[in-house]
């Protein structure tokens, strides 16, 4: 039955994007309702399916985005049984590698997937022998090899030697890491065209979110499926080239013409140009950093809000924490902003560790949230992370649908590992989980007890299954390492069970994040510091001005009402940092407060 919606639920631009037939390439400005449009489009495609054998696929950049879109679809009353939604890595693993691994010589004898912690531990040990840091050894695969993320070319020879040993170790142990999932999926598709043909007959529609963060190898994997069919699968590609900030990791904002050539299919280019998030003043400000010619119109109900936009270039780094604390108090006490609607940003995590510790000490009346404060392993493909989501959330009417989906995912994983879950439904899992009353205040200890207890209630001995045992060890090794690191940085409170539970709640405290980590977020007040040349952009960036503009565009467009920018006075070995060039060079009359 075709999906219908009430008049006024969508704008004319959003409606046009959803109702345009064929393949659509949608350029969406910040705050334009991209996620809403994508959810309605996917829901519309699901409601139009005329075969139980067909699927609608939605590729998101993060699992968080996948959950948000799926929740929105569920509220529209559309059956999601024939929807697959998740990241490109999960897609490749589930739809390409697992069913077709027998066709690749490196995978035919079996394989296991290691998490990021295990991968980093191997590389860290190899790096120590070469005088390198784990941060030097980032890489990403292309269709013809791999590229290094490190911009310092003087280190490349050593990095390649480390990675060569690392790749050999993975191959010897039949293990796949995060990046090699893409490599093997690409090779399977290239060497076995019949796979693309089969998938193109199963998929009626493919949606891709945040195309500007998509790697070329990912485009090629999806394009091979899209081009293999005749009328289907149709595709819907959404993103914003101005927010292409993952280029060092291979992110590439392909345009509609390039994609049409790659997929051998025509695309209709459409735009979402109305910003429903920010005040007119905020929109006007972040347009200064636009690198692509786009039209943006402030359409927020609070577009006339008298936004504060400040730039502080005189504060000394020793006084930085005090200035940020002042801005937080000003936002809450003078402007009436909720603490959960405040975000503190810095370019790198190294800038945030000590700052967060200081702010927690100096602002005891506030809570702080953020990816860097998550005290356990967040490898979303790890079975025990999926179990942890249910363990750390309470039963409630609002959470029922989401927790039921998680429970069914856990049972599906158990079944895939060979455990007998016949006769069990997600509702049975939730009843068992809800019956547990564990008196444990330490988060790690709580999860250990919960995992043992829930498996006993389900009558499953997970130790009989190598995959589950290995992932159990990896989950706790990584989690304990994270907790110890945070405790050593002065954040002893992270061990508490309530901190663990906070990870899966709607945010309640001040968000602390990097510019990259806050992508997709929005807040009433954004406070950003470390906006210095050679940091924004990175000192070795080959396209410094372009990269700096995109980072400043992303961080500024997160703000709904107020934006406070800080280029503090820092010294370095050979002189002092200066304000990031694009920030320094724009002509703007800032506020003072």
pLDDT cut 90: percent of the chain above it: 59
CA distance 461 to 165: 36
Asked whether the beta carbons of 239 and 519 are under 8 A apart, the reply is no
In this predicted structure, the answer to whether residue 491 has a pLDDT above a threshold of 80 is no
Residues 219-241: pLDDT tens digits? 999 999 999 988 889 999 999 99
∠ CA 437-438-442 to the nearest 5 degrees? 150
Q: Mean pLDDT: which of 171-180, 304-313, 412-421 is highest?
A: 304-313
In this predicted structure, the answer to whether residue 184 has a pLDDT above a threshold of 80 is yes
pLDDT of res. 488: 82
Structure tokens at 453: 């207890």
Greater pLDDT, 414 or 2 = 414
Asked whether the beta carbons of 203 and 42 are under 8 A apart, the reply is no
Domain 12-98+187-272: which topology? Rossmann fold (3.40.50)
pLDDT of res. 6: 73
Determine the average pLDDT of the residues in 136-160.
87
Greater pLDDT, 370 or 586 = 586
CA distance 235 to 73: 18
pTM: 0.87
Q: Angle of helix 383-391 relative to helix 426-434, nearest 10 degrees? A: 60
Determine the average pLDDT of the residues in 389-413.
89
pLDDT of res. 2: 67
- Among 2-6, 82-86, 136-140, 474-478, the minimum mean pLDDT is found in 2-6
**Domain spans of the chain, in order of start:** 12-98+187-272, 112-173, 282-373+505-585, 383-501
Query: Which of 181, 258, 208, 183 lies closest to 86, judged by CA?
Result: 208
Determine the average pLDDT of the residues in 422-428.
91
pLDDT of res. 552: 96
Determine the average pLDDT of the residues in 308-332.
96
Greater pLDDT, 38 or 402 = 38
In this predicted structure, the answer to whether residue 1 has a pLDDT above a threshold of 60 is no
What is the residue whose two structure tokens read 């937080």?
Answer: 328
CATH of 282-373+505-585, one of 3.30.300.180, 3.10.20.310, 3.40.50.300, 3.40.190.10: 3.40.50.300
CA distance 276 to 82: 31
Determine the average pLDDT of the residues in 273-300.
92
pLDDT of res. 165: 93
3-state SS, one letter per residue, for 249-288? HCECCCCHHHHHHHHCCCCEEEEECEECCCCHHHHHHHHH
Confidence of residue 132 (pLDDT cuts 50, 70, 90): confident
Greater pLDDT, 217 or 3 = 217
User: Cα-Cα-Cα-Cα dihedral of 240, 246, 247, 252, to 10°?
Assistant: -40
CA distance 138 to 161: 13
Buried b (16+ CB within 10 A) or exposed e, 440-467: eeebbebbbbbbebbbeebebebeebee
Greater pLDDT, 551 or 592 = 551
CA distance 453 to 138: 38
Q: Which residues contact 504 (CB under 8 A, 6 or more apart)?
A: 389, 392, 393
Question: Which region, left, alpha or beta, applies to residue 118 given φ > 0 means left and ψ of -120 to 50 means alpha?
Answer: alpha
Please state whether the peptide bond connecting residue 122 to the residue before it is cis, i.e. omega within 30 degrees of 0: no
Asked whether the beta carbons of 142 and 250 are under 8 A apart, the reply is yes
3-state SS, one letter per residue, for 499-560? HHHHCCCCCCCEEEEECCCCCCCCEEEEEECCCECECCCECCCCCHHHHHHHHHHHHHCCEE
Determine the average pLDDT of the residues in 371-393.
82
Greater pLDDT, 487 or 410 = 410
Determine the average pLDDT of the residues in 171-199.
93
Greater pLDDT, 191 or 70 = 191
Residues 61-80: pLDDT tens digits? 877 788 888 888 888 888 88
CA distance 268 to 39: 19
Asked whether the beta carbons of 113 and 413 are under 8 A apart, the reply is no
pLDDT of res. 311: 97
What is the residue whose two structure tokens read 């396209």?
Answer: 543
pLDDT of res. 518: 87
Residues 443-480: pLDDT tens digits? 999 999 999 999 999 999 999 998 899 889 988 988 99
Q: Which neighbouring-strand residues pair with 26?
A: 238, 270
Confidence of residue 563 (pLDDT cuts 50, 70, 90): very high
**Strand, coil or helix: what is 315?**
coil
Asked whether the beta carbons of 263 and 218 are under 8 A apart, the reply is no
> Are the folds of 12-98+187-272 and 282-373+505-585 the same?
yes
pLDDT of res. 357: 80
pLDDT of res. 371: 61
pLDDT of res. 461: 95
């Amino acid at each position: 039955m075709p999906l219908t919606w009430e008049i006024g639920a969508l704008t004319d631009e959003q409606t046009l994007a959803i109702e345009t037939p064929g393949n659509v390439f949608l350029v969406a400005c910040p705050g334009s309702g991209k996620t809403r449009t994508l959810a309605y489009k996917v829901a519309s495609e699901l409601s139009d399916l005329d075969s139980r054998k067909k699927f609608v696929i939605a590729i998101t950049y993060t699992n968080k985005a996948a959950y948000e879109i799926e929740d929105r679809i569920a509220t529209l009353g559309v059956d999601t049984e024939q929807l697959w939604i998740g990241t490109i890595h999960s897609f490749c693993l589930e739809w390409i590698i697992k069913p077709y691994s027998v066709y690749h010589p490196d995978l035919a004898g079996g394989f296991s997937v290691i998490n990021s912690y295990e991968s980093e531990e191997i590389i860290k040990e190899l790096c120590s022998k070469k005088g390198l840091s784990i941060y030097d050894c980032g890489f990403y695969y292309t269709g013809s090899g791999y590229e290094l993320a490190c911009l310092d070319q003087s280190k490349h020879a050593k990095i390649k030697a480390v990675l060569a040993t690392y790749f050999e170790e993975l191959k010897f142990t039949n293990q796949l890491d995060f990046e090699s999932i893409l490599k093997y999926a690409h090779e399977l598709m290239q060497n076995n065209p019949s796979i693309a043909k089969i998938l193109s007959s199963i998929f009626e529609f493919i949606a891709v979110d945040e195309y500007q963060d998509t790697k070329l190898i990912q485009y090629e994997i999806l394009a091979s499926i899209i081009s293999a069919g005749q009328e289907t699968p149709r595709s819907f590609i959404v993103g914003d080239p101005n927010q292409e900030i993952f280029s060092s990791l291979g992110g590439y904002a392909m345009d509609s013409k390039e994609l049409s050539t790659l997929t051998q299919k025509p695309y209709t280019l459409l735009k979402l140009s109305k910003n429903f998030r920010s005040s007119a003043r905020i929109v006007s400000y972040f347009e200064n950093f636009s690198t692509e010619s786009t039209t943006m119109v402030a359409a927020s109900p609070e577009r006339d809000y008298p936004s504060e936009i400040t730039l502080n270039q005189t504060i000394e780094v020793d006084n930085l924490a005090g200035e940020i604390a002042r801005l937080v108090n000003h936002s809450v006490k003078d402007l009436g902003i909720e603490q959960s609607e405040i975000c503190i940003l810095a370019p790198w995590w190294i800038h945030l560790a000590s700052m967060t510790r200081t702010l927690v000490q100096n602002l005891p009346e506030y809570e702080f949230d953020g990816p860097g404060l998550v005290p356990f392993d967040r490898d979303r493909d790890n079975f025990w992370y999926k179990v942890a989501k249910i363990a750390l959330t309470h039963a409630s009417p609002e959470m029922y649908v989401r927790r039921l989906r998680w429970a069914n995912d856990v049972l599906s994983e158990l079944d895939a590992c060979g455990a007998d879950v016949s006769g069990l439904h997600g509702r049975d899992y939730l009843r068992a989980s809800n019956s547990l009353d564990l008196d444990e205040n330490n988060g790690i200890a709580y999860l250990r007890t919960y995992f043992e207890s829930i498996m006993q209630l389900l009558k499953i001995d997970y130790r009989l299954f190598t995959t589950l045992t290995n992932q159990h060890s990896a989950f706790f090794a990584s989690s304990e390492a994270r907790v110890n690191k945070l405790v050593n940085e002065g954040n002893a409170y992270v061990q508490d069970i309530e901190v663990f539970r906070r990870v899966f709640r709607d945010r309640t405290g001040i968000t602390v994040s990097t510019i990259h980590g806050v992508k997709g977020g929005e807040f009433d007040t954004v406070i950003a510091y470390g906006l210095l040349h050679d940091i924004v952009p990175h000192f070795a960036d080959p396209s410094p001005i372009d990269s700096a503009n995109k980072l400043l565009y992303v961080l500024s467009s997160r703000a709904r009402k107020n934006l406070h920018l800080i280029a503090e006075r820092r010294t370095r070995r050979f002189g002092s940092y200066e304000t990031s060039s694009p920030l320094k060079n724009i002509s703007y009359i800032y506020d003072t407060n």
